[in-house]
Each structure stands twice: as structure tokens, then as C-alpha cells.
Structure 1
Amino acid sequence: MAQHSGTPGTTSTPGAPETPETPGTVAHYLRPGRLDSAFGALVGWLARRGVSLMGSAELSVLGRSSGEWRSIPVNPLAYEGATYLVSARGHSQWVRNMRAAGGGRLKLGRSVRHFDAVELGREEKPAVLRAYLERWGWEVGRFFGEVSAASTDEELLAAADKHPVFRITVER
């Protein structure tokens, strides 16, 4: 059973991992609703067939317990010569799997790109979060509460622990 942390839509599961940035705090996560799940399934289906909506792709990461590939649609962000994956919903299963696996693959149609991933530290996140919200704020802004692309660096830094960010390096 989920425990509510006081923020609408925010849940934390008993025994959930601590956030790496703030040991001792339970990981923030916003569960998808039915409409979100249906839209995500559609975006993933399209990505598997080679159709990207606004830059979307299908992310696959090896499950930390099952060892099987787990997939979800994501919006990879190209920013200042690097590519990033941002978890708008927080410390989700794909984030936990990515931490364990250290990488994964992005798929769009028949194109599959394997990558290594490094999680950014708290201080590195504000500029990436701003760029992500500038690009996809219309889609994911509701998961960031009062924070937007127009927020100050301090406001983005305050939200940084809730939104894991990974810099990915595609294998050549």
C-alpha cells in the first residue's frame, strides 16, 4: 500500500530506496494514471514502428531483479553536445534499473542505439532541467509542480532531488 507524502499525486512505497542525492529521504515518484498509461503505450508503439513524436524514443533497460528488458517511451534531450534522459515522474522503476545496469538502449523503429549512462549530481541538474522544460514543459510540466523553464536556478535546484537525470553516451 502506498503512503502519501502530502503532495497530491505523490506516493512513496514503504521500503523504497533513498534518493542518492539526499540519503535518508524516500524517493519521490508520481504514478501514471490510466490516460497517462494509454498515451505512453501509444507513444511506445509508434516508436517501435519508427514514428517519433517530438523526439520520443523507446527506452529499454535490463530489470535489476528479472534481468529482462523493460521498456518505456522517453524524450531524450540533446543539450550542449550531450544527450540526457530526465525522469519527470521521479524515481521510477526505469531509473532504479538504470542505476543498477549503468546503461540501456534507445529504439526508434529498426534503429537501436546502446548507451552507457551516468547519473548527474544535484548541482549539475538545473541547466538540464530548464532545457528539458523548455522543450517538453507542455507535456511534462505538471510533474514538476510550480517549477518551470522560467524558474530561477535556485528553484530548479530545489526540485533537482525529485527528478533523476542521466547523461548517456551512445556506443559507437
Structure 2
Amino acid sequence: MTARYDEPNRLARTANHIFRWLAEAGISVAGTRALRVRGRKTGKVRGVVINLMTVDGRDFVVSPRGNTQWARNARAAGEVELGPRWRSREVRIAEVADDAKPALLKFYVQRWYWEVKGHVGGLTPDSTDAQIRAVAPSIPVFQLV
């Protein structure tokens, strides 16, 4: 796992806050969901907004900005809470191995490039398999199990 982290600027943090508020209220915008995870140091539950990706009947979440706090917390906790607050569910997660990420990342970038461009390791919908494989170790991908 490479330690890349593209820290969001003030505008991105504001937009993320708005989309998280909507997701917490049960309003999904282009596949967004509320995700909450217990902090590995503080023990406090923290929330983020993610894009829930379903491939071959299995659900995945991607941390396009890299090794973010929520990704590190999820890795340590082994489970996350997903969905709006009044009907959330706890789900176990398993990190996807680097060699299994390229197909998932290709799907993710094609689906949400308009939203994640500029902070998904330089990938575009036209990225080659070699380019995706080169960046894959720096992008955490988790399967919900």
C-alpha cells in the first residue's frame, strides 16, 4: 500500500459536507452513500460520503484520494456502518488485493470520473491497464462482505 493522500481543498471539503448531509438524510446523488467508521485512535465515529460500486453482485467502496483517514480507520476496524442514520447497517469489509484492483478501478473511473478527476492517481476513463496497475497500490478498495 502506497501512502498517497490527496488532501481535499476547502471547496472540496464543503461539497463533501453537503453530499454527506444528503446521504445521511437518505438522498443519494449518483450512487453516494453515508459511511461511518470508528476512529482507530479516538474511538469516535466519523462519517464520510462514498460512492457505492456494485460489480458482479458484490459491493465495493473506493478511496480515490488514497490512504485517507476513513480508509485507515476502516482497515483497522474491519467493519463500517453504511446508509442513512435511521436505517444504517454494519458491514464487515475486506481490502481488495492490488492485483484484483485494475478491473474495479477501471469501472469506478468510468462511472465517476466527472466527480473524482484530479484525485484518483491521474487515472482517466482512457487509462491503459498498465497505467491502472501502476496506480492501484495507492488507491484503497474495500469489498463489503
Q: TM-score, length-normalised on structure 2?
A: 0.95
Contact 1:51/1:109, CA 8 A, preserved across alignment = no
Identity in percent: 37
- CA RMSD after TM alignment: 1.2
Partner in structure 1 of residue 54 of structure 2: 78
Provide structure 1 residue ranges, at least 5 long, that are not aligned to the other structure.
1-18, 20-24
1:112-146 C-alpha deviation (Å, 9 max, x unpaired):
12111100111000000011111101100211244
Distance in 2, Cα, partners of 1:31 & 1:161: 18
Task: Kindly report structure 1 stretches of 4+ aligned residues shifted beyond 2 Å.
Answer: 108-111
Aligned amino acid, residue 49 of structure 2 = P
Confirm or deny that 1:139 pairs with 2:115: yes
**Equivalent pairs, count:** 145
Partner in structure 1 of residue 91 of structure 2: 115
Provide structure 2 residue ranges, at least 5 long, that are not aligned to the other structure.
none
Q: TM-score, length-normalised on structure 1?
A: 0.80
Q: Which has the higher contact order (CA 8 A, sep 6+)?
A: 2
> Which structure has more helix as a fraction of its residues?
2
Contact 1:52/1:108, CA 8 A, preserved across alignment = no
Mapping of residues 40-55 of structure 1, within 5 Å = 40-55=16-31
Shift of 1:161: 1.2
1:136-163 C-alpha deviation (Å, 9 max, x unpaired):
0110021124422222211101010110
Confirm or deny that 1:130 pairs with 2:115: no
Segment of structure 1 superposing worse, 122-131 or 65-74: 65-74
Distance in 2, Cα, partners of 1:41 & 1:78: 24
Partner in structure 2 of residue 12 of structure 1: none
Q: Which entry has the higher C-alpha Rg, 1 or 2?
A: 1
